[in-house]
A and B are shown apart, each in its own frame.
Chain A
Amino acid sequence: MKRKNITKTKRNMKTVLRDNLKLLGICFQAAPGYMWMTIINTFRNEVVIFLEFTVGFNYVLECAEYGRPFSNAVIFLLAILAFAVGGLLFDSLYWQKVQIKAEPVIRARLKKVMYDKAAKLDLKCYDDTTVYNDYVLAVSEAENQLDRVIGLLKTIVEGGTGVLLTGAFFIAVDPVSVIFVAVSFIASLAVGKVQNRFNFRIRNEKNPFERKLSYINRVMYLADYAKEVRLNTELSGEILKDFDDTNEKLLKIDKDNAKKRFGLSFLKSYLCRDFITDVLFMIYLVFSAMILHRISYANVVVLYSRIGRMRRQVSNIADLIPKLEEVSLYAEKIDTFLALEPTVVSAGNHPMPENPRTFELKNVSFAYNEADGDILHNVNMTINALEKTAIVGYNGAGKTTLIKLLMRLYDPTAGEIYLDGVNIKEYPLESYRERIGTVFQDFKIFAATVKENVLLDMPEKGNDLDIETALEKSGFADRLGALADGLSTELTTEFDDNGVNLSGGESQKLAVSRAFYKDADLIILDEPSSALDPIAEYTLNRSMLTAAERKTVVFISHRLSTTRIADTIYMLEKGQVIEYGTHSDLLSAGGQYAEMWRVQAGQYLK
């Protein structure tokens, strides 16, 4: 699912900083205490290291060199020790409690905003692959980016403190030393810039092949494909060959770029860094100590051993820019996602009618996107209150899309849908959808209890008796009786190893009971019986119709035996209603429906 297909573009530094600060803002809002403690602890740690390795070393060495009393050195060191030991307690408190407790809170802060958004967003966003991919990326990367931005904050505090303290020490002892660090820093920064550009280019070049590899990986490990892979030996051979080829292509990219990579990394790590801060600096130190007698032994040792750390911190800061840019890229995805606004919203606040009323579709057209053209075209339909309406037609005729419009998962691109003479957009969306119970062909069972699965809501919102009745109506009663914990039985083994996995038919019955439980005015059944055997289907159909006696029902089925009992049957073809009427009307009309019926029923005739 995770697919990183971010293309790198040059980013404005201001935007980069703003994006990073925004994420940090979330962290500070969610756990201000933790965030401040992070800053303090990082700062404290740097101070201790500075005191121990720079000031402490230097002080003791100087005490010895200039013959100061031993007690001075001891008192100085004990003071540092006390500070260090106290600081470590603070550090322990930070890592062992505060950090662990704050992390989930910070994540939840961002995640929940995203989830709320995801639940409200137009279904359309899921159809648009670009939007959807970005969304998936935003969700799956949110946690990492929060961690990273906190990590960057630490690097800044650590580097800043270290550079300032050590820098001040260098200046106090021997200001010229700072020049070595500065030159090395500027030179590495310049080479680093070229190196970053080089790395981005390689990453972009590799991207399509990496995607291919991750796809192959998915095919090879997802259980869905396991059966095919076993039965079509040639198929998996082909995929493995593809895998080898793709790897070869990636290797070629690396080979083609090896020389340049070597040159850049040598330039940066040796010439800009080691050569200046080791070779030249050492010669300079020896020269200053021996010839000029400007600095002491102690200074030589301390300056030499500290420049390494100083150099590391400086280069950490130099490496920040690409890291900030990367966080900003993801932060932008998160932002874009949060900025999406649903278009399917309540346009008015018209109270919902108390009882089932008539639905009317007037010249309804709908297209998922302009390129693919209309899925539904100029559809007119009346769904009378309390009647049973069937929608039939070939695969791809637009049946499922039509009911999605009825549920307001999408709004028509042209035309209107009325309930009780009022445009359905005028009703509050939530209460409108509450009055519709739907069983989808591709319904889902959630990793929750049986009760929660029927309710699809908080368990306290429903009473057991009603739920049991609903389950009974859908034919689930026997299975329920066999469950040790009854309604409280956990379904799926997702996170309860004792959870129960229902078979396809059982799941379907459970899904049907959701519609029964929901005291809806309109029940929509989208091929609910496709996974059932004939007898189970027959029973389900019968019970559904009895249960829905005082409700309006719209159903889609391929099995015309199921739809024949409908009060009105609409036959769809290519997004248009081509015939409608009762079963016998349509049969005597001798059109497409009659043809379809003949084919299906004819098989049962001699």
Chain B
Amino acid sequence: MKQKKEGRFRIFANNAYAVKTVWEISKKRVINIAALSILGYAEWVFTSIFFLRYVIHQIETEAPFASIILGIVICYGVLLLISLYNNYSNAAVIPFTDNLIRKKLYSKLYKKARNVELRCFEDADFYNRYTLAMNGAPERMITSVNVFFGVIFGVIAAAAAFYSMFMIDKFSVLFVISPIIGNFLLGGMMNKIYAGRYVDSVKNNRKMGYVNRVMYLAEYAKEIRLSNIHKLLTKYYDDSVTGNRDVADKYAKKGIIINWIKNVLTFALVFEGIMIYAAYRTMISQTMDLAELAIMFAAMSTSSWILIGMFDNVSEALKNGQFLEYFRSFIEYRETIPEDQDGIIPEKKVHSIEFKNVSFSYDGEANVVNSLSFNVSGDRICAFVGHNGAGKSTLIKLLFRLYDPDEGEILVNDINIKKYNLREYRRLFAAAFQDGKLCSMSVKDNILAGEQGDDTAVETNLKKSLEKSGIAEKIKSLKYGADTILTKEFDDEGAVLSGGETQKLVVARAFAKTASVKVFDEPSSALDPIAEYDLYKNIMSESKNSLTFFISHRLSSVKDADIVYMLENGSIIESGTHTELMNAGGSYAEMYSMQAKNYLADEEVAV
């Protein structure tokens, strides 16, 4: 019970939060919504009750026709002003502020998304909440503001309508109790049923969504054609349909009865009840005259519709509360590694990198990096090798502060990397990942990614980077060269590149970036042997003047590294030059021979 109360309060607080958020972005819009809401209700109550009462009264007292018409014209003159304001806000205020709110709200979300640590994107639950928060955020925020004022002014408008009924007959107001009971008590029960139904069908809906995705995404198309997985997926879909029907059955009986009583209380009893009561007052006890009877009906119908609208508003607020919760918890999430973290501005040149007993696990259970230590200084080429899952890529991510170690520390230029200004710290590195992504902009923008400099220097840098990564020829062959837009997303003349070509461009980006440390994480997995060979040659020659880390499965490519680190189960088990490691005859030597054996007769294996 207590929890429920807190839940209700939270929903209220969340809606207030939405009003505050919109207020901070656009005061104009909030005032506009409030004004529209006041004017809307005022017009409604006024025309349907008070104005009508005035007209009937005038007719009844047989006032001169001209004076009635004058009254009508004055009233409608005022209403004309309201209408002008309404149309003005539809044409100017709403579209302009919609644009502003969308811009500011999404900027806020994007900046937050950029600022939270990478781990958030890997946490399915967090990620889910994030995507839900993104979905239609501006519209929902604005809905919240609408609902907020709708409830406040709805209460006042309903009170005004009740007052007019009360003035005619004190007891008539009692009939309002019926819809209030109907909506609060039974409405609450119905909400529970809706919630239960929703929870019970979540899994089915997720399944259907998944089947839908698999059926239309191009990446699944081959498997679907070559196997019978389609049948299995159809069965999943059918099961979910049946599942949802069963859920419907489970709640049907209760839902039908409660909803029925609720509606009888909300609609039927009030309407017919007041009519009978008022007819009695007029015809039998004769305490109400004809005009009052007419006004009574009009007021009753207006107040009922206002109440119904308000209950709709409240349930809208309840629904929106959940979304706002996602939004709020995302925006208010406290980053463990805030991307805009300030700190020491690092020296442009990295002299040393040291890992001191670093341990890290993704799930708090098994350590992926385990008490790992190493220390490199000077411009050296360091290779990291090891089995799948040995912790190589994780180590790089720790170095970039995409994660922080659970234990131990990482020092760059003898300072714990947590002390640096994060953005400036990241600028020290240029990285190429095997799953690197390109954006839907020109080749040039993708490669330079904001690198500055005068025009000729930029052009030379671009040209050189493309050459070194072995993609220059391909880019030249494109219709607009380096200005060609990638993907056909916005440009029908855009270029669609293969996996290998994409990888080369990702490497080119790392070449182009002016950074003290270059990192290559399996940059050649999609390349053919010759391209791979050339790429490594270029990485090696390029890296003479900077500290370079690279990860590779292909041991032949690490032979020329200044130092090779062999990882196993998250720790460095061997380190040294290729020759040293081969002579030591440990795990590295075994791995190397295994690979080389495929190329050569055993006795030829080079040491």
Contact = CB atoms under 8 A, between A and B. Distances in A.
A237 B227 CA distance: 45
B186 to A, nearest CB: 11
B245 A221 contact: no
A97 B402 CA distance: 50
B294 A262 contact: no
A227 B260 CA distance: 54
Nearest to B242: A104
Contact of B449 (A126, A235, A444): A235
B241 A305 contact: no
Nearest to B47: A278
Given A115-B215, A223-B122, A262 B110 contact: no
A91 B88 contact: no
B121 A297 contact: no
Nearest to B503: A395
A240 B110 contact: yes
Q: Which of the listed residues A247, A409, A533 has the most CB atoms from chain B within 10 Å of its own CB?
A: A533
B388 A119 contact: no
Given A63-B283, A433-B226, A605-B606, A129 B488 contact: yes
A107 B499 CA distance: 37
Given A118-B216, A255-B96, A269 B232 contact: no
Contact of A279 (B72, B241, B435): B72
Interface string A317-355: 000000000000000000000000000000000000000
Given A442-B219, A533-B553, A601 B599 contact: yes
A200 interface: no
A108 B241 contact: yes
A220 to B, nearest CB: 5
A396 B499 CA distance: 9
Nearest to B536: A603
B528 A531 contact: no
B526 A530 contact: yes
A230 B118 contact: yes
B289 to A, nearest CB: 9
B550 to A, nearest CB: 15
Contacts of B380: none
B606 A286 contact: no
Interface string A207-236: 010011001010111011111111111111
Given A92-B260, A297-B59, A536 B268 contact: no
What does DSSP make chain A's interface, helix, strand, loop or mixed?
helix
B111 interface: yes
Given A231-B429, A531-B525, A456 B294 contact: no
B283 A262 contact: no
Interface in A70-128: 70, 73-74, 77-78, 80-81, 84-85, 88-89, 91-93, 95-97, 100-101, 104-105, 107-108, 111-112, 114-116, 118-119, 123, 126
A284 B52 CA distance: 14
A405 interface: no
B418 interface: no
Contact of B96 (A84, A251, A289, A436): A251
A262 B90 CA distance: 7
Contact of A230 (B214, B426, B435): B426
Contacts of A226: 113, 118, 121
Interface in B201-228: 203, 206-207, 210-212, 214-216, 218-228
B99 interface: yes
Contact of B594 (A96, A235, A448, A538): A538
Nearest to B340: A233
A185 interface: no
B431 interface: yes
A84 B402 contact: no
B230 A220 contact: no
A603 B490 contact: no
Contacts of B388: 503-505, 531-533, 536
Q: Which of the listed residues B232, B235, B236, B238 has the most CB atoms from chain A within 10 Å of its own CB?
A: B232
A456 B72 CA distance: 76
A533 B111 CA distance: 38
B87 to A, nearest CB: 4
B215 A52 contact: no
Contact of B212 (A60, A139, A208): A139
Contacts of B374: none
Nearest to A251: B99
A444 B233 CA distance: 14
A254 B113 CA distance: 29
A488 B92 CA distance: 59
A191 interface: no
Interface in B48-72: 48, 52, 55-56, 58-60, 62, 65, 68-69, 72
Nearest to B556: A603
Given A534-B591, A605-B606, A457 B221 contact: no
Contacts of B386: 533
A53 B79 CA distance: 25
Interface residues of B, number: 171
A215 B389 CA distance: 33
B605 interface: yes
Interface string A226-269: 11111111111111100110010011001100110110011001
A270 B339 contact: no
A229 B120 CA distance: 14
A606 B606 contact: yes
A286 B72 contact: yes
A224 B68 CA distance: 71
A289 B290 CA distance: 15
Interface in A437-464: 438, 440, 442-444, 446-448, 452, 456-459, 461
Contacts, number: 430
Contact of A64 (B248, B279, B440): B279
Contacts of A237: 450
B598 A538 contact: yes
Interface stretch (A9-17, A21-29, A382-390, A558-566): A558-566
A559 B553 CA distance: 11
A458 B233 contact: no
A172 interface: no
A293 to B, nearest CB: 11
B526 A63 contact: no
Contact of B225 (A81, A123, A447): A123
B376 interface: no
Given A108-B238, A229-B114, A60 B221 contact: no
B433 A227 contact: yes
A456 B227 CA distance: 6
B221 A227 contact: no
A147 interface: no
B450 A111 contact: no
Contact of B131 (A64, A107, A221): A221
Interface stretch (B24-32, B249-257, B350-358, B461-469): B249-257
Contact of B231 (A225, A287, A457): A457
Contacts of B260: 88-89, 91-92
A259 B118 CA distance: 47
A249 B103 CA distance: 12
A290 interface: yes
A35 B213 CA distance: 29
Interface string B541-583: 0000000000001111101000000000000000000000000
A132 interface: yes
A466 to B, nearest CB: 16
A240 B553 contact: no
A236 B530 CA distance: 34
B76 interface: yes
A247 B225 contact: no
Interface in B256-290: 256-257, 259-260, 263-264, 267-269, 271-272, 275-276, 278-280, 282-284, 290
Given A438-B226, A538-B598, 10 more contacts: A70-B283, A108-B237, A230-B118, A234-B451, A244-B103, A278-B79, A442-B219, A458-B232, A536-B387, A561-B595
9 contacts: A89-B256, A92-B259, A116-B230, A119-B225, A301-B56, A456-B227, A457-B227, A458-B232, A600-B556
